[in-house]
Amino acid sequence: MKGQRLRQLYRRLVSGSYRSIRTKLLVCFLIVALIPLLSLGAVSYYQSAKMINSQFGKYGENAVAQLEQQTNSSLGRMKQTSETIYSYLLDPARTGLGNRVPVTYSEIIEKNDFEALLKSLRTDRTAGIYIITPSGYYYGESNLDVAKLDNIPAWKSRPASYQGTYWLGFYEQNHAMRGDDSHLPVLGLAVPIHHPNGAQDGSTILIEENAGELLHMFRLFEEDTKAHLTIKSPDGRLIYESASKFAPKKNDVIWERTLAVNQWTIEARLPAKAFYKSSGVIRSNTVVVAVISCVLAFGLAYVFSSRFTARIRTLKDSMQKVSFGKLDTRLPVEGRDELGSLDMSFNRMVSGVQTLIEEVEQSERLKKEAELRAFHYQINPHLLFNTLNSIQWKARLEGAEEIRHMLYHLTMVLEGNLDISQELITLGRELRMIDHFLKIQEIRYGEVFRYDLHCGESLKRYLIPRMTLQPLFENIFFHGFTDGVGSIELDVREDNDDLVLTLKDDGAGIAAEKLEQLFKPKPESRGRGGLGVQNADQKFKLHFGPPYGLTVHSTKGEGTTILIRWPKKEEGSDGDGKKN
């Protein structure tokens, strides 16, 4: 499942078809997150690495300085001891000290005094103080086997005519009289005595100091810093070297010190790799953290951008659906952000379009219906009119003047009714047709009703849908009046850009419940009356828009008032009338 998704993603990325907002967002987020992250990581790494390196460097420096100081103090002590002994031996008062086994009482007294001095020079660290005479006799603790002195590596190679101090370096003290050698690590110093004509000329002062502590310190230093320690004498002799194998390199970190006492150089070499190890740890940590945060940033950016673009895509999909005609498509509104309001406006727009289309559909349907009906009623008008004319002629010939009049008026009414070539006609024409209709009614009922028309001549040129007033008058006569008795008042006036027509009668009126039914579309109903009002209303609305049309006020038994409002429109100003 996951693999599949990844593959899908990969395919998208490779094919380049995914150059969407999402990719751009993702890249953008990553850049925004990664630049400060990486730069901060880099800065913190470089700073802490620098700090650690300098600290470690200082630590190493100090540690070597400490080694130097310790070694120096050992060497200094030994040198001082040798100098004390040397000056004692050069003292002219000490001539009693011979270079052979002392046998006489006075020699022995001298020897005892001298050895008491040697004893007093001993410290905790002292491993041996001897004065070895050329004869092989020596002064000092009686535990030295002179023959074994050659066990000291540097003893034999000691130059014969050496002046000053000769440092023997580190070695194991293996020159005890008794068989069991101590193997004690010591630091040795040999001082040849030059005292021409003195008994001790050619003797050597040998000072040995326990070097265990010093070597332990060296080892601690090596363990601590992983450095390689070497001590060399000025003539290049190797005094001490760490046990570990080591190949010196050019980029090694080097701490170096020179001992004040004998110019030995202490050199600690640390491979650059080891020196930078701790900062390397920081670096790898920083890299790990950076990688993790990159992955995290990528993941979050991915999730966020996909959430974001998913909404846009839903919007796009919905738009597509709408474009395919699925107008009932609605978007779930998520959140109150800009996208949410976009969703909301989209929904509003689609529902607006939907209602609009529904309205158009409805009106189209009604129009079609009306046309169809009209078509249905369209009897061949020529046949009708010719026949009516023939009858009229016949009535004239017969002298039936009344019938001829009726026929004449009927023809006029029908002519208006049947002429469907024009949907909008002038108000004057409609009013003339009403006159003809009323003449018929007059002939039919006699002069029992009154008709008052108030209409300015100027208003008669405005257009009105065809056959709108006649059905209303028919209603008055068929429902309102009994036997045509009553009065009708028609009043037309202008109200700004609109015309207002008031048709008032004092007939039977309409019951309240029936009044409600009046405007409800009921195409099935064949009942008379209601249809006229509704049709008229529809006609106004179709031609001029929903705000216009009829309003009916009626009180049962007192008459009905119908108000019609439509905009002023003149013939020729608009193509509407001619087109139809």
Partner 1 sequence: MKKRISLIVLATTVMVSVLSACGGSGGNAETSGQGEGGSKQTKTLRFATWDTGDALKIEQDIAKKFEAAHPGTKVQVEAYADGFDQKLAAGFGAANPPDVMYMWDFPTYHQSLEPLDGYADKDPDLNIDDFYKGLFNYGKIGDTLYGIPAGFTTRVVYYNKKLFDEAGVPYPKDGWTWAEFQDIAQKLTDKSKKQYGFGVRAENDTYDLQGFVWSNGSSFISPDGKAIDGYMNSKETAEAIQMFGDMVKNGSAVLTGGKGQQSGDDIFKAGKIAMWESGIWPLESFKQAGVDVGTVEMPAFPGKPVKGVLAESALSIAKDSKQKDLAWEFVKFYVSNDSIKMRVADLPVRQSVVTELKKDQDPLYKPFYAMLERSSDTPAFLLNPKWNEVNRQLSAAVEAVMHGASAQEVLNQAVKDSERYLK
CA–CA gap between residue 52 and residue 468 (Å, rounded): 102
Q: Per DSSP, which regions of 373-461 are E strands?
A: 424-426, 449-455
Measure the CA–CA gap between 301 and 294, rounded to whole angstroms. Answer: 10
Binding region for partner 1 (CB under 8 A) out of 289-297, 420-428, 467-475, 570-578: 289-297
Specify the residue, 178 or 336, whose C-beta has the smaller distance to partner 1.
Answer: 178
What H or E segment, with its residue span, contains residue 230? strand 228-232
The answer to whether residue 278 forms part of the interface with partner 1 (CB under 8 A) is yes
Q: How far is the CB of 106 from partner 1 (least distance, A)?
A: 8
Question: Residue 362, interface with partner 1 (CB under 8 A)?
Answer: no
Which residue's CB is nearer to partner 1, number 110 or number 505?
110
Q: How far is the CB of 135 from partner 1 (least distance, A)?
A: 11
Spatial distance between the Cα atoms of 90 and 332, rounded to a whole number of angstroms: 113
Distance (Å, whole) CA 140 – CA 122: 11
Distance between CA atoms of residues 551 and 546, nearest Å? 13
551 backbone dihedrals φ, ψ, rounded to 5°: -130, 135
Measured from the CB atom, is 47 or 258 closer to partner 1? 47
Q: How far is the CB of 36 from partner 1 (least distance, A)?
A: 6
Select the span of 298-306, 316-324, 395-403, 411-419 touching partner 1 (CB under 8 A). Answer: 298-306
Between CA 539 and CA 544, with CA 542 as vertex, the angle to 5 degrees is 100
Closer residue to partner 1, CB minimum distance, 117 or 297 = 297
Of 117, 146, 215, 333, the one binding partner 1 (CB under 8 A) is 146
Beta carbons of 255 and 268 less than 8 angstroms apart? yes
The yes or no reply on residue 112 touching partner 1 (CB under 8 A) is yes
Binding residue for partner 1, selected from 282, 391, 443, 531, defined by CB under 8 A: 282
Using CB under 8 A as the binding rule, whether residue 103 contacts partner 1 is answered as yes
Please state the closest distance from residue 129 (CB atom) to partner 1, in A. Answer: 13
Nearer to partner 1, 200 or 286 (CB): 286
Tokens 């059905």 sit on residue: 471
If binding is defined by CB under 8 A, does position 507 make contact with partner 1? no
**66 makes contact with partner 1 (CB under 8 A):** no
- Nearest-approach distance from CB 361 to partner 1, in angstroms: 47
Please report whether residue 205 would count as binding partner 1 according to CB under 8 A. no
Taking CB under 8 A as the binding criterion, the range among 47-55, 195-203, 447-455, 569-577 that sits at the site for partner 1 is: 47-55
Smallest distance from partner 1 to CB 280, Å: 10
3-class secondary structure per residue, 2-44? HHHHHHHHHHHHHHCCCCCHHHHHHHHHHHHHHHHHHHHHHHH
Four-point Cα dihedral 397, 399, 402, 406, nearest 10: 0
Using the contact rule CB under 8 A, the part of the chain among 7-15, 226-234, 279-287, 453-461 near partner 1 is 279-287
Q: Which is nearer to partner 1, 184 or 282 (CB)?
A: 282
Radius of gyration, CA atoms only, the chain: 66
**Contact call for residues 472 and 439 (beta carbons, < 8 A):** no
Among 121, 184, 199, 290, binds partner 1 (CB under 8 A): 290
Give min distance, CB of 12 to partner 1, in A.
23
* Closest CB 41 distance from partner 1, rounded Å: 5
**22, 97, 102, 187: residue in contact with partner 1 (rule CB under 8 A):** 102
Site for partner 1 in 537-566 (CB under 8 A): none
Identify the residue whose tokens are 């630590």: 59
Among 22, 26, 56, 264, binds partner 1 (CB under 8 A): 56
CB 440 within 8 A of CB 410: yes
Question: Does the protein bind partner 1 through residue 55 (CB under 8 A)?
Answer: yes
- Burial class for 421, CB neighbours closer than 10 Å (0-12, 13-18, 19+): exposed
CA distances from 510 to 115, 284, 328, 556 (A): 156, 96, 41, 5
CB of 217 to partner 1, least distance (A): 15
Among 136, 234, 352, 557, binds partner 1 (CB under 8 A): 136
What lies within 8 Å, CB to CB, of 172 at 6+ separation is 151, 181, 182, 183, 184, 185, 186
Pick the binder of partner 1 from 65, 84, 145, 242 (CB under 8 A): 145
Helix or strand or coil: residue 271? coil
Cβ proximity to partner 1: between 108 and 360 the closer is 108
Q: How far is CA 362 from the centre of its chain?
A: 50
**Near partner 1 by CB under 8 A: residue from 243, 296, 344, 374:** 296
Q: Is 262 in the site for partner 1 (CB under 8 A)?
A: no
Is residue 314 involved in binding partner 1 (CB under 8 A)?
no
Does residue 108 belong to the site contacting partner 1 (CB under 8 A)? yes
* Cα separation, 452 vs 567, whole angstroms: 23
Interface segment toward partner 1; rule CB under 8 A; list 12-20, 188-196, 281-289, 402-410: 281-289
- The DSSP-derived string for 48-69 is HHHHHHHHHHHHHHHHHHHHHH
Work out whether 85 is an interface residue with partner 1 (CB under 8 A). Answer: no
Beta bridge partners of 452: 489
How far is residue 522 from each of residues 42, 515, 526, measured CA to CA in Å?
Answer: 82, 14, 9
Q: Which helix (H) or strand (E) holds 128?
A: strand 126-132
Using CB under 8 A, list all residues that contact partner 1: 29, 32-33, 36-37, 40-41, 44-45, 48, 51-52, 55-56, 59, 101-105, 107-109, 112, 122, 136-138, 142, 144-146, 177-178, 278, 281-282, 285-286, 289-290, 293, 296-297, 300-301, 304
